[in-house]
Structures are given as structure tokens and as C-alpha cells.
Structure 1
Amino acid sequence: MDKMQRQPKICELIQSQPIHSQNELVQKLEQEGIHATQATISRDLQELHVSKIIDGNTYRYALSPSKTDTQCRLAHCMHMWLKTMVTADNLIVLKTDPGCAHVLGVLLDQLDDRDKIGTVCGNDTCLVICRNGKAAGHFLNRILEKY
């Protein structure tokens, strides 16, 4: 499995459950049918800007909450995975490579933007819901300018 399919699953696993080590992450990925070495996972974690945070008496992996980091990761993901963007009234439909839409949605949700209400994502489609048609146009323009 290639990086574009593996990295979104890594983000999903880290956000859905406590992962304490790279070996544990390798095992969780194996359970999902994704085969990767510890060295590959180490590189993925660096590229995704994953850090370890303290959680009670132990450490676990977490995606960085930094706004600058979110913007950098969003720019990277849009460049790598985004295929098309289309608006329909207050909705923006983003088509991505298979397995990548939910990572894009998470990053878009982390943006502090008054025009966006939220996202709904599937395997290769991310639906951005905006307050109205005008807000969708503004949001899309900002995305196009920045990313």
C-alpha cells in the first residue's frame, strides 16, 4: 500500500484511539490490512507532523493542533490528493485520491473559518457545508488563494 493510502489511515487511527509506539501503530495497520515497516511508519509520522503528548501517566501520538502546521499539512494534502473542486449553492465537493478525503476533511475542520459549517467525508469525496452560497464562494476563493 502506498503512502497516500497509508497516511490517512495513520491519522484516523491516531485520532480514534491511543497509540503509544510505532510498533503498536504497525500492528494496528496490519489489522487493517496495511503492511508497513517501523522505518516507513517513522517517516510517515514525521511527514504528518505527529508528536507524542502526555496522556495521564503515559505518552501517545497526536496530530499537531498548531494552526500553522494545519495550514502546511492542508496545503501538502491538497497538492498531493485533490483532483477537483466544485460548488453547488452552499456546498463544495472536493474529489480526492481514494482513501484521502477524510484527512482533508479533518484539516479543513481545523481551520477557523466563519463561512464553513463542517465537512462530511467518504473514501474519495469531501463535502464542505457552508452557511450559504455566498459563503461557499468566499471559502472556495480563500482555499484557492492559499492552497
Structure 2
Amino acid sequence: MNREKRLELIKKIVDSEKISTQEELLETLKKRGVNATQATISRDIKSLGLFKSMKNGTKYYITPYKQKEAKKINKIQEAIHDNVTSVERIAWLNIVRMPLNSNYANALGSLLDTSNIPEIVGTLAGNDTLVIISKSEDDAAKIKQFILESIDN
């Protein structure tokens, strides 16, 4: 396999799986029929500009694009932690409450609307209440869980 195809494959692997070490990446490539050395993989990681991110105490490689997404998600999680007091799910909607007269619902709604989180169709905001609209009840349940985890962190 030529270098360009290998780099493209590495990007796909890193975007779809949590790869923590170069050894894991080598094994994953080997399973896909690509033989490479650790030195080659090291150069490929540098060439692609891969970064290590941490989630739930585990470090793993991400592409620069995914790093931007991760930073935005972290910003959303911090905003939820600092401002949200409760969340209630009703079918495919999540009703998110903030302290009275905090005027933060619009700002959080804007962050969520621009986040590209696939489970969010859109938001409606008042001063201290935000409605998050999802496509399905399953998507709404995932968003509620995300919000509860963000509040607890």
C-alpha cells in the first residue's frame, strides 16, 4: 500500500476507533492487511498532525478536525456544568432549566445549535429555559444522559 492510501486509512481508523498507542494502530493496520514499522507509523502520525485527547480517563489519537469538535464539546460540557440546574425529557424533547433570570438559555442554545451533535435538530430558548429538539426519543435520551453527565462533572 502506498503512503497516501495508508495515511487515508489511518485517518479513517483514528476517526472511527479509540486508538491509544502506536502499537494498537500497528495491530489495527495489520488486521487490515497493511504491514508497516513503528517508525513509519510514528512519521505518519506526525504527518497527519494527530493529537492525543482524553475522555473518561483514556487517552487516544484524534485528527485535528476531531480535536476542534472535542474542544467544542468540552466547552458545551463546561457551560452545562456551570449553568444547568436540571433536565427533563418529554418524548423527543429535553427541557433544560437554568437559574431564574440567568439569561443563559440563548447562549447555551447557540452553542448546541452550532455543535453538529447529530442527536440535536435544534433548540428554542427563553431566559432560563432551553428546549432541545431531537429526531427521536432515543436521541433525546442520549442528549439527556449527556447533560446529566456534564452537570455531574
TM-score for the superposition, normalised by structure 2: 0.48
Name the one with the larger strand percent.
1
TM-score for the superposition, normalised by structure 1: 0.50
Q: Which has the larger radius of gyration?
A: 2
